[in-house]
Structure 1
Amino acid sequence: MELKKILCAVDLMDSVNPAVEPAKHFARLTGASLTVLYILSSSASHLIEAPVEPERDDIRDVQGMSSRNSMMHAIWSRTREDMDAFVLKHFAGMDAEGIIYEGKPAEMIVEVADAIGADMIVMGTNARERFLDRFFFGSVANEVVRTAGCLVLTSRPERKA
């Protein structure tokens, strides 16, 4: 099997991204290009520290955007900056690009992998060990493994002693 494109799904909000090293390893071994993907939650307003009021015509910023649209634009801009810094830090000198999509993580990871023709998805797991956690919260990694049309490599974060 030949690997030409690897999709590496990361969480820019997490200081631990166990998918980075395996993705780099496979890319170096095979010469595959890397696409680094971050999914911004559809409910991105949870990232805004101040409460967000429903859009009102009488609340506009100087450019005519609603305050909510302005805040969402700021979130996207900051996320883009974070992604660019992440790719530069972790994938310097490699054929890697960072992309950002919005939506449900498992669905978007599989959709993007299909769209770019990825031969492999590399992603971390959160290593939940309690049954109730998995039952109530599900697992993005499990969903991706179940639905992806390509190889999926999952990597757990190292356990702290």
Structure 2
Amino acid sequence: MYQNVMVATDGSDLATIAVDHATSIARAFNARLTIVTVALQAPVFDAMSGGGAISQSVFDEIRRANVEQCTAILKKAAAAAGPGARTEMVESLTAYEGILHTAKEIGADLVVMGSHSRSLLSRLVLGSQASKVVNLSEVPVLIVR
């Protein structure tokens, strides 16, 4: 049924459970497993200083730190998933856009991700990355709580 399972992780405990679940699904269907994390791009402005542009060196330092953190997240998730798991890091302004872009790019036929149990009011006001993926994905999305 599934040939290419993709799981999104941010390194949280909930995301680790989603990686474990996706690993089980991929093994059960003898499918390829791709683990993806999104390195959020730093904003190009600094709200603390009145909205002025941040310097290139500050932007580069934020980007470097994000990439290092994402590399560590992927390394840990790949070790938990076992041999054969592929990893992808994508840079994006939002997690949901990076997840959707990667799913399309790799031809995923199932996206797995964790979601915090937030209240309806919180989801309506703040939005949810998982909700956006569910609503905008062209392939099935399995949410692990």
TM-score computed with the length of structure 1 as normaliser = 0.73
Partner of 2:14: 16
Aligned length: 135
Matched position secondary structure for 1:19: helix
1:143 corresponds, among 113, 132, 135, to 132
Whole-Å Cα distance in 1 between the matches of residues 30 and 22 of structure 2? Answer: 11
**Deviation, structure 1 residue 28:** 0.9
Report Cα offsets for 1:132-160 as digits up to 9, x if no partner: 2111111212211111111111110xxxx
Going by fraction, where is strand more abundant, 1 or 2? 2
Whole-Å Cα distance in 2 between the matches of residues 67 and 143 of structure 1? Answer: 30
Contact 2:8 2:113 in 1 (8 A): yes
Whole-Å Cα distance in 2 between the matches of residues 43 and 120 of structure 1? Answer: 29
Rg larger in 1 or in 2?
A: 1
Partner of 1:29: 28
Identity %, equivalent residues:
26
Contact 1:44 1:72 in 2 (8 A): no
**Deviation, structure 1 residue 79:** 2.5
Partner of 2:55: 55
Give the alignment of 1:61-100 within 5 angstroms: 66=57, 68-88=59-79, 90-93=80-83, 95-100=84-89
**Deviation, structure 1 residue 73:** 2.2
Q: For residues 92 and 43 of structure 1, do their structure 2 counterparts lie closer, same or farther at Cα, with a shift above 3 Å needed?
A: same
**Deviation, structure 1 residue 23:** 0.3
**Deviation, structure 1 residue 91:** 0.9
Q: For residues 44 and 100 of structure 1, do their structure 2 counterparts lie closer, same or farther at Cα, with a shift above 3 Å needed?
A: farther
Going by fraction, where is helix more abundant, 1 or 2? 2
Whole-Å Cα distance in 2 between the matches of residues 144 and 74 of structure 1? Answer: 25
Whole-Å Cα distance in 2 between the matches of residues 87 and 154 of structure 1? Answer: 20
TM-score computed with the length of structure 2 as normaliser = 0.81
Task: Point out where structure 2 has 5 or more consecutive residues left out of the alignment.
Answer: 45-52
Matched position secondary structure for 2:13: coil
**Deviation, structure 1 residue 67:** 5.0
